[in-house]
Structure 1
Amino acid sequence: MTIDTITNQKTPKYKRYKAWIISAFIITVISAIFISNREYLDMYYINFRYNDYEPGDKIYAKNFYLNDVNEEGEGYNLDLYQLVRPINESDVDAMDLDLYKKSVIKANLNSSHKPYIMERGWQISGDSLCKHNSAVIGTYVRYEIVNIRLDDEFHPVLHYVINPNRNALIKDGIISHKYKMPDDYLDSDSTFYVSLLDLGTNEIKTFRKVKE
């Protein structure tokens, strides 16, 4: 048996083995990417499957905010969310502080922190919606996949950006823990986000009577 014969016999097996390794590697990489981005992919799928809004479309509140009341007979308000972001070194440089204090703050900045949305006191008043006989909380602008913060973990969620109904927009003046932003965060902008869980599908026909 010649060397050429041995080589020819081994080559097909080697090629099959090499192709198997490459295929396994590609599958492993794709699986790792999928697993690490599963939450984001789920949100994109939900948006693709259920979001039929176009910019300017009216967005409605669930009937709950229009016709349900608590034990005191008071209606409920729909919470809006706003984006907050971690303080960065440029923010620290702009502070009116001594250089030493600035250096201490910079040294304690947490690079793992991310922007996220939280309640900042802005709400859509259920009573105001009832007074105007409309469930419209605003108009659709776009969708965004933004983070929420649970303890020190950040999770992507699908929310809609809206232009709120100014006739029903109120600011909760009560100082509450849920509105308190972490000390190392700042308000990002004035964009309003609404949770999909609070939305109805269309205008309703009956509204509770609101005490004047």
Structure 2
Amino acid sequence: MPAPLAPLFGFTLGVLLAWLARPEDGPDERPGASSWDRPTVAVALYALFVYAPVSAYFTVFAADWSFAYLVDGRAIPSALELLLVLLDAAAPVLGFLAGRRALARRSLPALAWLAALPLVAGLIPLVTLHARFGIDATYDQVQSDFGTRPLPGSPLGYAILWMDAILVAGAVFTARTLSTFDVSAVLPARPGRAAPPVLPSEPTSDEPPRFLGRPRKPR
């Protein structure tokens, strides 16, 4: 996906994962509860090993296309590319944490805005520059208007399809993993919620154990 837009889509994806990972009765904020529980770690692993590498592929190997041929990919500083990769790794986690905070406050409008604003901000340039994103070429070819070819059927087009399939498969796997977590077991008990009943332990006896088939001798 385009390099400058990947963090925006990653943030929206994190918010959607937070919505899918919500418990049935809704999470809430509790003092002393750590944000880095198992669901957050699962999202962080997806962002680190799937989302960031896929986004970095286009930043490194298709920089001209990633910036819609507006700048020469060879002139982009490596520090900027590294910053974009770090943002790609952090965006899904930040979106997931922000989404869980909105759910904790039971604010569905805030959750919707958190998901919609980055998505719209990413779709506007994608739709506006769709003609540039729809070709496979280099910066020089676009500027000179020669040698360009449509993105579908080109090597870059196949790479986009393959990488997007990896992103979707990883997101589905992460969502299924989040659904298996017992959030109530990870988070501390809510104030006002009745504690689970404690079953009484079996009474103990000082009487020595009896052996089957051997009657106990009278004292």
TM-score with structure 1 setting the length: 0.22
- Counting strand residues as a fraction of each chain, which structure ranks higher? 1
Using CA pairs under 8 Å that are at least 6 residues apart, name the structure with larger relative contact order, 1 or 2: 2
TM-score with structure 2 setting the length: 0.21
